């Protein structure tokens, strides 16, 4: 739900501290580029600190250690890092997320099975605290506060700056292998068999296919190419990087263009256009990592009522439950285009961090059908029964009572929050809705 708040632009840490000091009863929350699908960076009736004015970062090219203001986006980081032979440690499907947001959601990407999530790579962060102090928080110095902030949805303090380790790359191209997989069994089998061989991997899954095609997918897996892998003409500039936004979706996209038939047709086409198997194709960083950014304002295709995202993780061994969920979504024709399946590696110490070893499924769900609320409640239950959870960064509707079952360390997190923000200056709509405050 859109809500009303006062937005304060923060260009300097003092602006953030000022907003915290002036916090009224409705509190303060930081906001970056607004790519959370839910209400995590909204604060009805309170103050929203817009972090995107703080965009400084520096890289130590000897070590790959980068220090960036909270408002720096992955887009900006890549423009600086890639030509100098480094990549971000983790990137989601859009590069328009900020460093602050990456910490608050402890974001994950195609390399989770090998490299974990964003906060696994953070060496330290500067946190503006509710009491007006600025603390340098490290996993060694104050592990409780560090791991309460990692995935803590911005409710432990406002990130001013973070230092994180960036991996070196030899080129700006990814060597990609593509597998077209005929059903969910084959998808899960091939993913389990091949994950180890690739640094980056994810499957796009056709959530409209039913029956014997249920769960058919296109798996793309890859790793950064060596200079030798590039065509001779490109070897002179192996780190060339350009990430344009190609087309803006017009502001008035006719409502109803996205319906069950067009989605089904699109998915069919997308599946068919993928080669049954192709190896060693070279793709650019935007093409491989950031397909969502190819269209500016792509969310507009869903029309004015929009869509929501539903992302879960189910532990390994719960494959049957995953199948039930995929089947329910497919049979009811609930989801649409951007649906992905991935295998997560082990969890980190983040108290509210989402990733944990298992299968993660993320689906786009157009809003509109009255039966949607009940369907998603039902699938939440299936997820919880299997020991799984939903992703808070994408949540906009989960039942509050399920939270402590999904996140068994919620009490630890609450204890840290009680310690660092006893007056509840940090507040958000997500916090209100889920009783986190």
Partner 1 sequence: MEDALGSVQRALVLGGTSEIALAVLERLARDRCRSAVLAVRDPHAAAPAVERLARAGIDDVTTVAFDAAAPEALPAVIDEIFDAGDDIDLVLVAFGVLGDQADFDADPVAAGRAVTVNYTAAVTSGLATAARLRAQGHGTLCVLSSVAAERPRQTNYVYGSSKAGLDAFAQGLGDALEGSGARVMVVRPGFVHTRMTEGMAAQPFSTTPEVVADAVAKGLGQRRHTVWAPGILRVVFAVMRHLPRPVWRIISAR
Interaction of residue 26 with partner 1, rule CB under 8 A: yes
- Phi first, then psi: what are they for 180, rounded to 5°? -95, 125
Nearer to partner 1, 39 or 120 (CB): 39
- Phi first, then psi: what are they for 407, rounded to 5°? -120, 85
**340 and 351 Cβ atoms separated by less than 8 Å:** no
CB of residue 134 vs partner 1: minimum separation in angstroms?
A: 28
Nearer to partner 1, 6 or 131 (CB): 6
17, 35, 43, 354: which one binds partner 1 (CB under 8 A)? 43
CA pseudo-torsion sign 359, 365, 371, 376 = positive
45, 291, 315, 333: which one binds partner 1 (CB under 8 A)? 45
**229 and 172 Cβ atoms separated by less than 8 Å:** no
E strands, 172-301, are 173-181, 200-205, 217-224, 247-248, 277-284, 295-296
What's CA 410's distance to the chain center, in Å? 21
Nearer to partner 1, 3 or 235 (CB): 3
Cβ contacts of 362 within 8 Å, gap of 6 or more: 309, 310, 311, 338, 339, 340, 341, 391, 394
Interaction of residue 433 with partner 1, rule CB under 8 A: yes
Q: Coil, helix or strand for 218? A: strand
Nearer to partner 1, 322 or 398 (CB): 398
Tokens at residue 28, please? 């303060």
Q: Coil, helix or strand for 287? A: helix
Interaction of residue 49 with partner 1, rule CB under 8 A: no
DSSP string, 111-168: THHHH--GGGGEEEEEEE-TTS-EEEE-TTT-HHHHHHHTTSTT-S-EEEEEEEE--B
User: Of the listed pieces 142-150, 224-232, 384-392, 425-433, which binds partner 1 according to CB under 8 A?
Assistant: 425-433
CB of residue 420 vs partner 1: minimum separation in angstroms?
A: 23
CB of residue 426 vs partner 1: minimum separation in angstroms?
A: 16
108, 290, 321, 397: which one binds partner 1 (CB under 8 A)? 397
7, 265, 373, 415: which one binds partner 1 (CB under 8 A)? 373
State the DSSP H helix or E strand holding residue 69, giving kind and residue range, or none if neither: strand 65-69
The CA-based dihedral angle spanning residues 175, 177, 178, 183, taken in that order and rounded to the nearest 10 degrees: -140
Interaction of residue 429 with partner 1, rule CB under 8 A: yes
User: Of the listed pieces 147-155, 160-168, 365-373, 381-389, which binds partner 1 according to CB under 8 A?
Assistant: 365-373
171, 347, 362, 396: which one binds partner 1 (CB under 8 A)? 396
Tokens at residue 426, please? 């940090």
129, 308, 351, 352: which one binds partner 1 (CB under 8 A)? 308
CB of residue 87 vs partner 1: minimum separation in angstroms?
A: 33
Annotate each residue in 105-144 with x if it binds partner 1 (CB under 8 A) or - if it does not, as one string.
Answer: ----------------------------------------
CB of residue 240 vs partner 1: minimum separation in angstroms?
A: 41
27, 32, 36, 38: which one binds partner 1 (CB under 8 A)? 38
Annotate each residue in 6-25 with x if it binds partner 1 (CB under 8 A) or - if it does not, as one string.
Answer: --------------------
317: left (phi over 0), alpha (psi -120 to 50) or beta: left
Pick from 407, 389, 386, 384: nearest CA to 318: 386
Instruction: State the residues that interact with partner 1 by CB under 8 A.
Output: 1-5, 26, 38-39, 43-46, 305, 308, 367-368, 370, 372-373, 396-397, 399-400, 429, 432-433
């Amino acid at each position: 739900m859109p809500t009303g708040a006062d937005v304060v632009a923060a260009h300097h840490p003092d602006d953030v501290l000022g907003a915290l000091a002036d916090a009224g009863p409705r509190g303060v929350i930081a906001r970056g580029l607004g790519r959370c699908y839910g209400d995590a960076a909204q604060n009805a009736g309170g103050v929203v600190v817009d972090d995107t004015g703080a965009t400084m970062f520096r890289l130590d090219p000897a070590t790959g250690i980068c220090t960036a203001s909270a408002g720096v986006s992955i887009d900006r980081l890549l423009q600086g890092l890639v030509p100098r032979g480094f990549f971000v440690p983790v990137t989601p499907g859009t590069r328009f997320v900020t460093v602050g947001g990456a910490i608050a959601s402890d974001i994950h990407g195609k390399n989770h099975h090998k490299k974990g999530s964003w906060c696994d790579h953070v060496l330290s962060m500067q946190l503006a605290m509710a009491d007006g102090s600025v603390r340098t928080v490290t996993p060694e110095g104050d592990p409780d506060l560090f791991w309460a902030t990692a995935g803590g949805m911005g409710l432990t303090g406002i990130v001013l700056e973070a230092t994180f380790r960036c991996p070196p790359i030899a080129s700006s191209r990814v060597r990609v292998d593509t597998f077209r997989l005929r059903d969910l069994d084959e998808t899960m089998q091939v993913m389990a068999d091949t994950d180890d061989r690739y640094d980056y991997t994810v499957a796009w899954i056709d959530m409209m296919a039913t029956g014997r095609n249920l769960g058919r997918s296109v798996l793309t897996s890859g790793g950064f190419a060596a200079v030798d892998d590039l065509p001779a003409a490109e070897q002179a500039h192996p780190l060339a990087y350009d990430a344009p936004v190609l087309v803006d979706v017009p502001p008035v996209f006719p409502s109803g263009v996205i319906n069950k038939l067009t989605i089904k047709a699109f998915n069919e086409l997308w599946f068919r256009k993928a080669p049954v198997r192709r190896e060693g194709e070279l793709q650019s960083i935007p093409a491989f990592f950031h397909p969502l950014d190819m269209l500016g304002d792509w969310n507009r295709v869903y029309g004015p009522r929009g869509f929501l995202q539903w992302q879960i993780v189910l532990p390994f061994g719960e494959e049957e439950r995953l199948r039930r969920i995929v089947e329910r979504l497919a049979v009811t024709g609930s989801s649409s285009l951007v649906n992905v399946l991935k295998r997560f590696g082990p969890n980190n110490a983040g108290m509210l961090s989402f990733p944990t070893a298992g299968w993660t499924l993320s689906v786009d769900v157009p809003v509109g059908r009255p039966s949607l609320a009940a369907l998603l409640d039902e699938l939440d239950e299936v997820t919880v029964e299997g020991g799984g959870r939903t992703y808070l960064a994408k949540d906009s509707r989960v039942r509050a009572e399920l939270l402590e079952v999904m996140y068994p360390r919620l009490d630890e997190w609450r204890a840290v929050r009680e310690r660092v923000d006893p007056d509840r200056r940090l507040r958000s709509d997500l916090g209100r809705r889920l009783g986190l405050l």
